[in-house]
């Protein structure tokens, strides 16, 4: 029996790797309100090193808004759009999830009519090891596009996975099976 432990890769990227964040991209993304984005064009582009493969069934986009004790959050599965060369994978929302995202946007926009409701958008990914797994100095990248007229923004650019995930989490990634 082979086991694969899902690792919230991008969540760790956002939380544990501030020194690897691309400040220009992060600034641009922070100015772009996901409530105004067209969910049908939201894309994530993930670059994993040789020895790691993305598990598309474990790719999630999470959005959240909060006002006082009221929290409105949704998780959306990201679907594989295409596998590109060099370990790059492109992901997006399915048409059904794009509609669910629009419904979430409407709820939060309604909530915001009575004042600010801070929110967040995050991506978490699961990976599995191929062959002997990634090299000790392996790096990964994450880009996001939240609107059709914007380029892919490099949020995380070639960051060492051991620093992003921690040595224990990197070692715990199970084999693909």
Q: Strand locations in the chain, DSSP E?
A: 43-47, 52-67, 70-83, 88-93, 119-129, 139-145, 153-160
Higher model confidence: residue 14 or residue 54?
A: 54
Higher model confidence: residue 6 or residue 83?
A: 83
**pLDDT of 18 strictly over 50:** no
121 is a domain residue: yes
4 is a domain residue: no
Q: What pLDDT does 20 receive?
A: 58
pLDDT band per the 50, 70, 90 thresholds, residue 145: confident
176 is a domain residue: no
Domain encompassing residue 13: 9-171
Beta-sheet pairing, 52-67 with 119-129: antiparallel
1 is a domain residue: no
88 is a domain residue: yes
Q: What pLDDT does 117 receive?
A: 87
The total number of structural domains that make up the chain: 1
- Read off the pLDDT of residues 72-93 as tens digits, 9 standing for 90 and up: 999 999 998 876 677 788 899 9
pLDDT band per the 50, 70, 90 thresholds, residue 10: very low
The pTM score is: 0.79
116 close to 67: Cβ distance less than 8 angstroms: yes
3 is a domain residue: no
121 close to 81: Cβ distance less than 8 angstroms: no
103 is a domain residue: yes
71 is a domain residue: yes
7 close to 169: Cβ distance less than 8 angstroms: yes
- Among 14-18, 26-30, 78-82, 138-142, whose mean pLDDT is lowest? 14-18
- Read off the pLDDT of residues 103-125 as tens digits, 9 standing for 90 and up: 999 999 999 898 888 888 888 88
- Average pLDDT over the chain, rounded to an integer: 81
């Amino acid at each position: 029996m082979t086991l694969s432990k899902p690792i919230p890769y991008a969540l760790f990227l956002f939380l544990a790797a501030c020194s690897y964040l691309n400040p220009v991209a992060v600034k641009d993304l922070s100015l772009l309100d996901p409530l105004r984005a067209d969910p049908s064009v939201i894309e994530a582009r993930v670059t994993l090193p040789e020895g790691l493969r993305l598990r598309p069934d474990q790719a999630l986009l999470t959005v959240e808004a909060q006002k006082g004790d009221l929290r409105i959050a949704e998780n959306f599965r990201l679907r594989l759009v295409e596998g590109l060369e060099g370990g790059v994978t492109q992901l997006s929302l399915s048409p059904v999830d794009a509609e669910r995202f629009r419904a979430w946007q409407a709820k939060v926009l309604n909530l915001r009519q009575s004042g600010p409701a801070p929110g967040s958008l995050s991506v978490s990914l699961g990976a599995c090891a191929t062959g002997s797994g990634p090299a000790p100095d392996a790096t990964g990248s994450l880009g996001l596009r939240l609107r059709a007229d914007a380029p892919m923004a490099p949020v995380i650019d070639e960051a060492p996975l051991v620093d992003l995930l921690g040595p224990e989490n990197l070692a715990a990634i199970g084999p693909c099976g």
